[in-house]
Chains A and B, each alone.
Chain A
Amino acid sequence: MLKIKKVTIKGFGPYIDQAISFPEKRGVNIIWGDNGFGKTTFINALKFGFYQELPKKEDKDKSILDVVNMQNKKVNDYNISVIIDFSINDDNYSLTRYAKPKYKDSIPEGYNDFDIDFQLQKNGALLSKNDGKISLERAMPENTSRFFIFDGELLEEYNKLAEESQFTYKLKDSIEQILGVPILTKGKRHVNEYNKIVSNKLLQLSKKQNEDSKNYKKWEEKTNELKERENERFSIEKDRIKFQQEYDKIYDEIKKGPSGTKIKEYENLERELSTVKTKIGMKKLDIKNTINDSWRGLTYQRLILYKNEAVSFINSYKNKIKKHDTYIKNVDMYQISVHKRNCEICSKSLNNIDVEQMEKKIDELKLQIPTITDDEKREYDKFNNVVTIISEKLERFKPEQTRLEGLSNDLEGFELDEYVIQEKMKDIQRSIEDFSKQREENVILEDQKKKALDNLSNATSSLKDLDKNISEIKEQMKRLESLIKEQIDDTKLVVYKEKEMILSQLHSLLEEGTEVFRNQLKTRVQSDAEKLFLKFSNQKDFTGLRINHNYGLDIVHSSGEIVPVKSSGFSHIVSLCLIGALHKNAPVKGPVFIDSPSGRLDQIHKNNLVNILTDISDQVVLLLYNGELDEQMIRKNLGSDLTAEFELIHENDNAFKTIIIER
C-alpha cells in the first residue's frame, strides 16, 4: 500500500512554501477551501510531482508559466518544486520534482527555458536517475493515475469513455494494468520472444542440413519474393503519404472557401455516424448474445418449481428437527426431575407415585421422538445447496423477452439516427457541390481534389492487395519452415525442437491463463462494485451492477432488466463504485485524492458518499469547497475514520498566497 505522508509545495500556484502532513492512520482526510484558494492547484501539484504533468492549456509552452506563483514572479523568482514524502509497506520515499529557469539573467518565456528534473530518495539514500524512474513508475504508474488522483466533476465521463470506441482500449488497458493483467500478457510476450530465437536457430540448423532439398529451394524463392514485395510496398507507401499530403492541402484550401462551414458540418456528421455505427454494431452483438442465451428462459419456471420443492423439504426438515429437540428437551427435564425428586417445572417435591407417573411419561415421550435418518440429513444438505445455487443463478435464467424488446427498441432508435444523419450528409454534400460549381477557382480546386483522391485511393488499394500478398507469402514460408524442420534428425536439432514445443506450450498456458484470470477479475470487480453500489444508491429498485467487456458498468433493475446509466448523478455513483472495486482488487494499492467529489449528487447520495469513502481506499483525501458536504454530517458519519481536517486560507486576503492550516 502506498501512503502519502507529507506534501510540500513551493512556488506553485498560490502556494509560496506550504506543507501538509497526513496521519499514518487509515481513514479520510479533508482539505476545505473555497473556489480560487488552491484545491485544484493542490491536485495539479501532485500530478506535477509524480508525473511532471502540467495543467492542459492550448499553448502548452506557456502552461508552466501559469503555475509559477504570481507574487514570486514579481521578484523574478520562477522556481517551483513539489516534495512528496510517501511510504510503500516498510520503505520510506521522498520525491522532489523541481523546475528552475535555465538562464540566470533572463526571464523564462516558455517550457524550454526551464530545467525540470526530479530526485528520489529511498530510506534516506538517493537513488540513481534510472532506479528512481523505475521506482516511481512502480509506485504510481502514470497511465493508472486517473484512478488515484482525479477531479470528481469528471467522474461521470468514465462510463461514456467505456462506450466510445476510441477511448475504450486506453481505459480498458489502464484498468487491466491496475488489476495486474500485464503480469500474464508480458510473460506471454517474453516467452514468445524467446521462442522466436529458438525457432530461428532451429531453422538455421535445419537449413544447413536441407540445402539441397526441394522445400528449402522453394523457401529461398519465397524469401526473395517477400523482399521484392516489401520493397514495392515501401515505395507505394511513400507515394501514398505524398498523395495524402496533397489531398489534405487541397482540402484545407477548399475549407477556407465559402463551403468551409458546410464541410465542417459534414465532418462532424461523419464522426457522429461512426459513433452511431459502433453503437449499432454493439447492440446487434448484444441481441445475438441475448438470443444465444435465451434457452435459459425455458428452464426458468422449472427451476422455480425445483427451488420451491427444495424449500418445502428444508422447512419440513427444520420443523422435524425442532420437534425432535423439543421432545429431547422434555425427556431431559423429566429425567432431571426424577433424579432430583423435584419437579423442574413447578418446583414441587415428588413422591413415589409422582416419580412412577413421570417415568411412564418419559417412556411415552421417548417413543414419540421423531427419527432423523442419515438419508434425510444428506437430502437436507443437498437441497440447501440446490437453493443456494438456484438463488445465485436464477437471475440469469429469467426469460429474456423484455430485455430483447428493449434492445430491439434501442437498435431501431440507433438505425433511425443513422438514417437521419446519412440524409443530412447527402443534403450537405449537395450544397457543397453547388458551392463548388459557382466559381471557376472552386471548380479547379474540386478537380484537383478529385485527382488527389483518385491517386490516394489507388495507392491505398494497391497497398491492401500487397499486404494480402505479403501475408500469403509469409504463411507459405511458415508452412515450408515447418516442413524443413520436420525433415531433420540430428540430436542437436531434436533438442531445439523440444525446446520450441515446450515454449509454445508455455505460451498457450499463459494465453489461456490470461483469459480465465480476466474473467475472474471482472467477476470480482463487478461483485465489489455492486456491494458499494448497494450501499451508495438510494434507489431500491436497483439491485446490482453488471460489468461489460470494456469495464463499463450498467445498473440492474429488480426486474432483471439492464438500465442504461443516463443520469449524471448515477454515472458519478457508478464510476466511484468502479474506482472502489478497482482499488480493492488492485495489486498496487494507493491513496485516492478527489477534488469536489460530490459532483451532481443529491443530498441523500452525498450522505451515502461519505459512508462508502473508507471502502474505497485506506487513504482518502477529499478537497471540498465550503458547504459542498455538511460538516456536522461528515464528522458524525465518519467518526474516528475522519483522521484530519485542513483549511486553505489566503494570508492577509492576498490571493497569491494560500496557507494550509489544520482545523
Chain B
Amino acid sequence: MNENNNFMKLFKTVNKIREEKYEDFITEELLFDLLKIENDNFEIDTDMSSKEIIQLLDKYFEKKALL
C-alpha cells in the first residue's frame, strides 16, 4: 500500500473502533505499528510480516511488563 492517503484512511477507520471499544487494551501506537507492518508487506504472503508482528507484540508486552 504505497500511497499514504489510503493507508491513513484504513488506519483511521480501525482506530475509531479502537477508541470506542478497545482503548483499555490496545494503544494507538500498537495498532498503527501493526497495520504499518502489514501495509509494507501486504502485496505478498511471506513469513516476514508474521515475524515482525511477533517482535512488535513481544515489545508491547515487555513495555506492559508482561514478559
Residues of A within 8 A of B41 (CB): 186
Shortest CB distance B5–A (Å) = 9
B8 to chain A, nearest CB (A): 11
Do A186 and B42 touch across chains, with their CB atoms under 8 A apart?
Answer: yes
Chain A residue nearest to B1 (CB atoms) is A587
A517 touches B66 (CB 8 A): no
- Please state if A180 and B6 are interface contacts (CB–CB under 8 Å): yes
Q: Does A495 lie within 8 Å of B66, measured CB to CB?
A: yes
Question: What CA separation (Å) do A588 and B40 show in the bound complex?
Answer: 12
Per a CB cutoff under 8 Å, which of B18, B46, B67 touches A509?
B18
Q: Which residue of A lies closest to B15 (CB)?
A: A513
Could you write out 28 A-B pairs with CB less than 8 Å apart? A89-B2, A137-B43, A177-B43, A180-B6, A182-B42, A183-B10, A183-B35, A183-B38, A186-B42, A190-B50, A190-B54, A495-B67, A502-B66, A505-B25, A506-B25, A508-B22, A509-B14, A509-B18, A509-B21, A510-B14, A512-B17, A513-B13, A513-B14, A516-B13, A586-B6, A588-B43, A589-B2, A589-B3
Inter-subunit contact A517/B14 (CB<8 Å): yes
| A187 x B53 contact (CB < 8 A) | yes
| Residues in A neighbouring B26, C-beta threshold 8 A | 502, 505-506, 509
For window 568-626 of A, CB contacts with B under 8 Å fall at 585-589
How far is B2's CA from A498's CA once the two chains are assembled, in angstroms? 35
> Which of A89, A183, A517, A589 contacts B42 (CB under 8 A)?
A183
B31 to A509, Cβ gap below 8 A? yes
CB within 8 Å of B: which A480-510 residues: 495, 498-499, 501-503, 505-506, 508-510
| A298 surroundings in chain B (CB, below 8 A) | none
Question: Which residues of chain A have C-beta atoms less than 8 A from B49's C-beta?
Answer: 186, 190
Given A183-B39, A187-B53, A193-B50: A137 touches B44 (CB 8 Å cut-off)? yes
Given contacts A138-B44, A194-B54, A589-B3, contact A184 B10 (CB under 8 A): yes
Q: How far is the CA of A92 from the CA of B48 in the complex (A)?
A: 24
Residue numbers in B under 8 Å from A138 (CB-CB): 43-44
Residues of A within 8 A of B45 (CB): 186
With A502-B25, A587-B7 already in contact, 14 other A-B pairs whose C-beta atoms are closer than 8 Å: A134-B46, A141-B43, A180-B7, A182-B42, A183-B39, A193-B50, A499-B66, A505-B22, A505-B26, A512-B17, A513-B13, A587-B2, A587-B42, A588-B2
When C-beta atoms are compared, the residue in chain B nearest to A178 turns out to be B43
A499 near B31: Cβ-Cβ < 8 Å: no
**Quick check: is A633 within 8 A (CB to CB) of the other chain?**
no
**Which A-chain residue is minimally distant from B9 (CB atoms)?**
A520
Q: Which residues in window 158-200 of A have CB below 8 A to B? A: 177, 180, 182-184, 186-187, 190-191, 193-194
Contacts of B31 in A (CB 8 A): 509
What is the distance, in angstroms, from B20's C-beta to the closest C-beta of chain A?
10
Does A180 contact B42, Cβ atoms closer than 8 Å?
A: yes
Which residues from A are CB-within-8-Å of B35? 183-184, 187
Determine whether the beta carbon of A587 is less than 8 Å from that of B6: yes
With CB as the reference atom, state the residue of chain A lying closest to B52.
Answer: A190
Q: Does A285 reach chain B (CB closer than 8 Å)?
A: no
- In Å, the complex CA distance between A134 and B54 comes to 21
Chain B positions within 8 Å of A513 at CB level:
13-14, 17
What chain A residues lie within 8 Å of B43 (beta carbons)? Answer: 137-138, 141, 177, 588
Chain B residues within an 8 Å CB radius of A191: 34, 53, 57
Measured CB to CB, the nearest residue on chain B to A179 is: B6
Of chain A, the residue at the smallest CB distance from B51 is: A190
Give Cα A356 to B34, complex, Å.
Answer: 79
Asked if B17 contacts A509 (CB within 8 A), the reply is yes
Complex interface: chain B residues within 8 A of A587 (CB): 1-3, 6-7, 39, 42
Cα of A187 to Cα of B21 in the assembled complex, Å? 19
Instruction: Tell yes or no: A88 within 8 A of B by CB.
Output: yes
Which residue on A lies nearest to B46, using beta carbons? A134
Q: Are A499 and B42 in contact (CB under 8 A)?
A: no
Set of chain B residues within 8 Å of A187, measured between Cβ atoms: 34-35, 38, 53
Residues of B within 8 A of A508 (CB): 22
Q: Nearest CB to that of A508 among chain B residues?
A: B22
**Which residues of chain A are near B1, meaning CB under 8 Å?**
180, 183, 587-588
- Bound form: Cα–Cα A628–B35 in Å: 46
CB-nearest residue of chain B relative to A195?
Answer: B57
CA distance A520 to B12 in the complex (A): 12
Chain B residues within 8 Å of A184, by CB? 10, 14, 35, 38
Tell me whether A498 and B10 are in contact in the complex, defined as CB-CB below 8 angstroms, given that A182-B42, A184-B38, A588-B2 are known contacts.
Answer: no
Residues on the B chain within 8 Å of A512, using CB: 17, 21
The answer to whether A134 touches B44 (Cβ under 8 A) is yes
B14 vs chain A, min Cβ distance (A): 4
Nearest-Cβ distance from residue B53 to partner chain A, whole angstroms: 4
What are the residues of chain A within 8 A of B13 when measuring CB–CB?
Answer: 513, 516-517, 520
Chain A, range 133-147, C-beta contacts under 8 Å to B: 134, 137-138, 141
Smallest Cβ-Cβ distance to B3: which chain A residue: A587
Chain B residues whose CB sits within 8 angstroms of the CB of A517 once the complex forms: 10, 13-14
Contact with B along A1-30 (1 / 0, CB 8 A): 100000000000000000000000000000
Q: Which positions 548-574 of chain A face chain B at CB distance < 8 Å?
A: none
Nearest A residue to B16, CB-CB: A516
Residues of A within 8 A of B34 (CB): 187, 191, 506
State how many angstroms separate the Cβ of B67 from the closest Cβ of chain A.
8
**Contact A180 B66, beta carbon cutoff 8 Å:** no
Q: Which residues of A contact B66 (CB under 8 A)?
A: 495, 498-499, 502
